Copies of this chain bind each other. A is one copy, B any other.
Amino acid sequence: MTTTPALDPQALLRGRDILPTLQRMAVAQVLLLQPAHMTAEQVLEAARRLMPELSRATVYAVLKLFVGQGLLKELPIDGHATVYDSNVQPHHHLYDVDTGHVVDLPAASLQVLGLPQAVGALEMAGVDVIVRVRGLSAAG
C-alpha cells in the first residue's frame, strides 16, 4: 500500500492540479476522504448537506474530472446508474444483487489465473471481478 490518506481535501485536489473550489471540496469531503461507493445522486444528496446550492450538473462535472485525474473509479456493476468508487487501488467487489450494496474485496483475497493466455497479444486495460451475492446487509 502506498496510500497516504489525505485528510485535507484542499491538499488532495492541489496534488492533482485541480483547482479546489468549494463545490469540488464538498464532493471530495463526501467521497474521497474515506473508501465509499456512491452514485451521482447519492453524492449530490450528501454534498448538499455541506453546500445546499450545489447543482446536479456540477456534481456530474466534478465526478468526471475526478475520474479523469485518477481520484475515482467508475464501477461496471449495474446498468442503471454509475457507481463511483473512491478506492482506486486494484481490488474487486462484492455486490448484493438484492440491495445494490457494494463492498470492496482486497486484491489479494482473489487470484485470477490464466490472464496472459486469455488476453494474448492484446493490450490489457484492467480486470474487474464482481462477485454477486445475497445477504450483504451492511451498507456498502
Q: Is the CB of B118 within 8 A of A94?
A: yes
A124 to B118, CA, bound (A): 25
Q: Is the CB of A110 within 8 A of B118?
A: yes
- What are the interface flags for A64-82 relative to B under an 8 Å C-beta threshold, 1 for contact and 0 otherwise? 0000000000101111001
Q: Is the CB of A112 within 8 A of B110?
A: yes
Say if the beta carbon of A133 comes within 8 Å of chain B. Answer: yes
Q: Is the CB of B117 within 8 A of A109?
A: yes
A115 to B132, CA, bound (A): 11
Say if the beta carbon of A50 comes within 8 Å of chain B. Answer: no
User: A121: nearest residue on chain B (CB-CB)?
Assistant: B135
A44 to B105, CA, bound (A): 38
Binding site for B on A (CB under 8 A): 74, 76-79, 82, 92, 94, 97, 105, 109-115, 117-119, 121-136
8 A-B residue contacts at CB 8 Å?
A109-B118, A110-B118, A111-B112, A112-B113, A122-B133, A123-B133, A125-B132, A126-B131
